[in-house]
Amino acid sequence: MSEILLVGEVNGGNLAEATAELIAHGKPLAESLTSSISVALLDQDSTSAAQEAISQGADKVYNIKDSLLGTYQTDAYLASLAKLIQEINPIAVLISKTEIGADIGARLAFRVDTGIVQDCIEVSVNSDNKIQANRPVFGGNCMATVVCESTPMMALIRPKTKEALEADTSRSGDVVDYNADLDESVIKNQVVERVEEVQEGIRLEDAARIVGGGRGMNGPEPFDNELKDLADTMGAAIGASRAAVDIGWVPYSYQIGLTGKKVAPDLYLLVGISGASQHMAGCSGSKNLVAINKDPDANIFRDARFGVVGDWEKVLPALTQQLKELM
Amino acid sequence: MSFNIVVLAKQVIDPEAPSASYRIDGSAGKLEVDSSQKIAPVINGFCENAIEAALQIKEAVGDATVSVISAGSDFVMDVMKKAVSMGSDEMYLLQDEKFSNLNDSSITAKLLATAIQKIGEYDLVLAGMQASDWDQAQVPLGIAEILGVPCVPIARKIEIKDGRAICERATDAGYETVSAPLPSVITVNNEFGQPRYPTLRNIMAAARKTPITWDAAELGLSDDDLSPRIKIVDLFIPEKQSQCEIIEGEDEEEMGRNLALKMREAKLI
Ligand SMILES: Cc1cc2nc3c(=O)[nH]c(=O)nc-3n(C[C@H](O)[C@H](O)[C@H](O)COP(=O)(O)OP(=O)(O)OC[C@H]3O[C@@H](n4cnc5c(N)ncnc54)[C@H](O)[C@@H]3O)c2cc1C
Ligand SMILES: Nc1ncnc2c1ncn2[C@@H]1O[C@H](COP(=O)(O)O)[C@@H](O)[C@H]1O
Contacting residues for A155 by C-beta, under 8 A, at least 6 apart = A92, A93, A94, A95, A116, A117, A120, A123, A131, A133, A148
Any A CB within 8 A of B182 CB: no
Instruction: Let me know if residue A268 belongs to a domain.
Output: yes
If asked whether residues A29 and A166 sit together in one domain, one would say yes
What does pTM read for this prediction?
0.94
- Facing residue for A307 by CB, picked from B133, B141, B247: B247
- Please indicate, yes or no, whether residues B148 and B248 belong to a single structural domain of this protein: no
Same domain, yes or no: A72 and A44: yes
Q: Is B214 domain-assigned?
A: yes
Is the Cβ of A291 closer than 8 Å to some Cβ of chain B?
A: yes
Residue among B137, B235, B262 whose CB faces A142 most closely: B235
Indicate whether A168 and A88 sit together in one domain.
yes
Residue A191 lies inside a defined structural domain of this protein: no
d(CA B106, CA B129): 16
Which of B32, B143, B240, B259 should we substitute to test contact with A (largest number of A Cβ atoms within 10 Å)?
A: B259
B99 part of a folded domain: yes
Domain harbouring A103, CATH code: 3.40.50.620
State the smallest CA–CA distance between residue A182 and chain B in angstroms: 17
> Tell me: the pLDDT tens digits for A200-259?
777 898 899 999 999 999 999 999 999 999 999 999 999 999 999 999 999 888 999 999
Interface of B with A in 65-94 (CB under 8 A): none
A57 & A122 share domain: yes
A161-to-A21, A96, A232, A315, B132 alpha-carbon distances in Å: 8, 10, 28, 33, 22
- The whole-number pLDDT of residue A197 equals 79
Same domain, A179 and A208: no
- State the angle between helix axes of B200-208 and B77-85 in degrees (0 to 180), rounded to the nearest 10: 120
A2 and chain B: CB distance < 8 Å anywhere?
A: no
Please give the Cα distance from B64 to B160 (Å, whole number): 12
Same domain, B180 and B261: no
Q: Give a yes or no: residue A127 inside a domain.
A: yes
Q: Please report the sign of the dihedral spanned by the C-alpha atoms of residue A44, residue A48, residue A52, residue A53.
A: positive
pLDDT at position A64: 95
Work out how many domains chain A is built from and give that number.
Answer: 2
Using a 6 Å cutoff on CB, does residue A283 contact ligand 1? no
**A132 and A229 share one domain:** no
Rg (CA), chain B: 22
Identify which ligand lies nearest to the alpha carbon of B144.
2
Q: Which residues of B touch A308 (CB under 8 A)?
A: 246-247, 252, 255-256, 259
Same domain, B262 and B213: no
Search chain A and give the residue with CA nearest B190: A246
Burial of A128 from C-beta contacts in 10 A (0-12 / 13-18 / 19+): exposed
Asked if residue B105 and residue B72 are part of one domain, the reply reads yes
Instruction: Decide if pLDDT at A199 tops 70.
Output: no
**Which stretches of chain B score pLDDT less than 50?**
none
Q: How far is A139 from chain B (nearest CA, A)?
A: 6
Mutate to test the pocket of ligand 2, among B8, B43, B119 (most ligand atoms within 8 A of CB): B8
Q: Percent of chain A having pLDDT more than 90?
A: 90
Cross-chain CB nearest to A307 (options B13, B244, B251): B244
- Domain final residue, candidates A124, A153, A186: A186
pLDDT at A70: 79
Can you say whether the dihedral through the CA atoms of B115, B118, B119, B120 is positive or negative?
positive
The closest CB to that of B134, out of A111, A137, A290, belongs to A137
In a domain, A192, yes or no: no
The DSSP code for A71 is: S
Residue A194 lies inside a defined structural domain of this protein: no
pLDDT at A144: 98
* pLDDT digit string, tens, across residues A167-182: 999 999 999 999 999 9
Kindly state whether residue B73 falls inside one of the protein's structural domains: yes
Contacts of A160 (CB under 8 A, 6+ apart): A21, A262, A263, A264, A285
Q: A142 vs B24: CB contact, 8 Å cut-off?
A: yes
Are B133 and B251 in a shared domain?
A: no
Q: Print the domain residue range for A284.
A: 204-326
User: Is position A198 within any domain?
Assistant: no
The verdict on residue B234 lying in a domain is no
Rounded to a whole number of angstroms, the distance from the CA of A168 to the nearest CA of chain B is 30
Nearest CB to B190 within list A75, A191, A246: A246
Give a yes or no: residue B233 inside a domain.
Answer: no
pLDDT given at position A309 = 98
Length of chain B, please?
269
The CATH number of the domain where B157 resides is what? Answer: 3.40.50.620
Angstroms from B250 CA to nearest CA on chain A: 12
Please tell me whether residue B89 adopts helix, strand or coil conformation. coil
Same domain, yes or no: B173 and B256 = no
Residues B220 and B252 both lie in one domain: no
SS (H, E, C) A273-314: CCCCHHHHCCCCCCCEEEEEECCCCCCHHHHCCEEEECCHHH
Same domain, B92 and B219: yes
Query: In chain A, which among 86-115 make CB contacts under 8 A with chain B?
Result: 99, 102-103, 105-107, 109-111, 114-115
pLDDT digits (tens, 9 = 90+) for A65-101: 999 987 889 999 999 999 999 999 999 999 999 999 9
Same domain, A132 and A45: yes
Does residue B125 belong to any structural domain of this protein?
A: yes
| A216 close to ligand 1 (CB < 6 Angstrom) | yes
3-state secondary structure of B26: helix
- Say yes or no: A51 and A168 in one domain: yes
Q: Quick: pLDDT tens for B22-70.
A: 999 999 999 999 989 889 999 999 999 999 999 999 999 999 999 999 9
| pLDDT per position as a tens digit, A23-49 | 999 999 999 999 999 999 997 677 799
Domain span at residue B26 reads: 3-226
Shared domain for B108 and B24, answered yes or no, is: yes
Is B111 inside any structural domain?
yes
What does the mean pLDDT of chain A come to? 95
Alpha-helical regions (H) of chain A: 17-32, 47-55, 74-88, 99-111, 221-224, 226-234, 242-247, 277-280, 300-303, 312-326
> Residues A135, A229: one domain?
no
Which ligand 2 atom sits nearest the alpha carbon of residue B44? 21
- Closest alpha carbon within chain B to A301: B244
Q: Are residues B72 and B49 in the same domain?
A: yes
Do B206 and B166 reside in the same domain of the chain?
yes
Q: What is the pLDDT of residues A96-149, one digit of tens each?
A: 999 999 999 999 999 999 999 999 999 999 999 999 999 999 999 999 999 999
Give me the number of domains chain B comprises: 2
CATH number, domain with residue A212: 3.40.50.1220
Lining residues, ligand 2, CB within 6 Å: B 8-10, 44, 46-47, 50, 69-72, 102, 105, 108, 112, 127-128, 130-131, 134, 136-140
Q: Is residue A197 part of a domain?
A: no
Q: Both A132 and A63 in a single domain?
A: yes
Is B126 contained in some domain?
A: yes
Q: Are residues A17 and A155 in the same domain?
A: yes
Is there a single domain that holds both residue B122 and residue B183? yes
The CA B142 to ligand 1 mean position distance, Å, reads 32
Any atom of ligand 1 within 6 Å of the Cβ of A279: yes
Residue A61 lies in a domain: yes
